[in-house]
Structure 1
Amino acid sequence: MALTMAKLTEEEIIRKPLMIAMKGHPATGKSTLAHALASTLKFPLIDKDDIRDSTFHLQQSSSSSSSHLLNDLSYEAIWRVASTQLQIGLSVIIDSPLSRRTHLDRLLDLAASTGAQLLVVECQALDQAKWRERLEGREKSWHKPTTWEELEKLVKGYSGCTEYDVGDVPKMVVDTTAPNLGVEELVSSVVDFIASSCGGTCA
């Protein structure tokens, strides 16, 4: 992995910032991979959950119908923060489900306005047993599914809208439940993907 990182940081000419957008359902390993990538690449990590968590008291004091509004506000906040970082030339990693095409369109607008290169890294958990074990074993959260039944209901509610075409945006899909494939190996493969996608134009 060290050789790959050296290639990315020394041979690639820094011309424009890079925006890595994570994608995937809850408990597919998005956040684990995003944190590891941010640590390796030294990119700011913008996590939608950090913003959503901060709305807990607003959620408690508002009507149940405000939940969608607060969730939309969380997305708006991460896009605003990302815009600021990109405008000053910093590359960023955005950790969110990216569950709807409209979210990708917003990132495309952001990339166009800041001159950034957008890449998508989608996390999938093809081993359903491991996925379920990961979901039910993680720390509980008030705004995330905590049981397999809740997750199935959430995915069903998407009605397939998460499976959209990203067009010309470079995209990598990783199976985070693949045997003998740890976080370090996943990070290495994503870094290779970044290096091959940038073509000498990214930070």
Structure 2
Amino acid sequence: MEMGIRKPTTVTARPLMIISMKGHPGTGKSTLAHKLANLLSYPLIDKDDIKNSTYALQSHLPSHTLLNDMSYAAMWNVAATQLKLGLSVIVDAPLSRPEYFDKLAQVAEDSGARVAVVECRPRDWEEWRRRLERRGAEEGAVWHKPAKWEEIERLLDGYDGCYEYEVPGKVAKVVVDTTAPFSVDHIVDFILGNKDGGHLELPSI
């Protein structure tokens, strides 16, 4: 849960940035991504918005992995276009594998943008489970989104720990426990103010 948010009253020069969310389904990535996009006035590119439009293709392709990779590729292409126009962006995706981060870094390098990662990592797994299953009950089944905890368990087993990778280079990374109170302002201040990278955990342990 997030605490109060302040809207900037003046526009100051900011570095060109691509801010990527990271985290498993139901951890609050999209909610936080929308808060950040609203606060910073950055375009938000959601991989799920792209993948939602590929439903008609799922029965014609050999695996869902291909659809997922296509959705990532489209997201990176849209982000690259915005960066070339001089617009910082936020991308909302699980970023669950190192190769996805590698592509993020390449898109940033091609446009001369800085990279920041905001990872949603709930410490209270029972609360995470409640939120995930409540979302599933309220929104109904979405063909590519886990709606039950058993689906999350299978997903994590399939990852086999690959999502626990180190973020290299001069990257500002914030890890947020989204089941505890935190300040979105602190996230913004940290990622905008740390051009040489760094690591922040919220709330502080």
Q: Structure 1-normalised TM-score?
A: 0.87
Which whole-Å deviations, capped at 9, do the CAs of 1:4-49 have from their partners, x for residues lacking one? Answer: x458x43xx34x4110000001100000000111111110000000
2:202 aligns with none
Displacement of 1:186:
3.5
1:159 aligns with 160
1:175 aligns with 177
1:100 aligns with 97
- Counterpart residue identity of residue 149, structure 1: E
* Alpha-carbon separation, structure 2, partners of 1:71 and 1:165: 22
SS of the aligned residue for 1:119 comes to strand
1:122 maps onto 2:119 in alignment: yes
Q: Is the 8 A contact 2:36 2:184 kept in 1?
A: yes
* Alpha-carbon separation, structure 1, partners of 2:195 and 2:33: 19
SS of the aligned residue for 1:194 comes to helix
Instruction: Tell me: higher relative CO, structure 1 or 2? Use CA pairs within 8 A at least 6 residues apart.
Output: 1
Displacement of 1:166:
0.4
Q: Is the 8 A contact 1:125 1:177 kept in 2?
A: yes
SS of the aligned residue for 2:86 comes to coil
Q: Is the 8 A contact 1:22 1:30 kept in 2?
A: yes
**Greater percentage in helix:** 1
Q: Structure 2-normalised TM-score?
A: 0.86
Distance 1:197 1:144, change over 3 A: same
* Alpha-carbon separation, structure 1, partners of 2:174 and 2:193: 11
* Alpha-carbon separation, structure 2, partners of 1:22 and 1:131: 17
Displacement of 1:191:
1.1
Q: Is the 8 A contact 1:86 1:116 kept in 2?
A: yes
1:188 maps onto 2:185 in alignment: yes
Q: Is the 8 A contact 1:33 1:186 kept in 2?
A: no
* Alpha-carbon separation, structure 2, partners of 1:72 and 1:195: 29
What runs of 5+ residues in structure 2 fail to find an aligned partner? 197-205
* Alpha-carbon separation, structure 2, partners of 1:74 and 1:129: 30
Displacement of 1:94:
0.3
Q: Is the 8 A contact 2:172 2:195 kept in 1?
A: no
Q: Is the 8 A contact 2:24 2:94 kept in 1?
A: yes
2:79 aligns with 82
Displacement of 1:2:
3.5
1:132 aligns with 129
Number of residues of Structure 1 aligned to a counterpart in Structure 2: 187
- Counterpart residue identity of residue 160, structure 1: G
Which whole-Å deviations, capped at 9, do the CAs of 1:122-164 have from their partners, x for residues lacking one? Answer: 0011101110001001123110111101101101110000000
Q: Is the 8 A contact 2:122 2:128 kept in 1?
A: yes
- Counterpart residue identity of residue 173, structure 2: K
Distance 1:186 1:156, change over 3 A: farther
Displacement of 1:170:
1.4
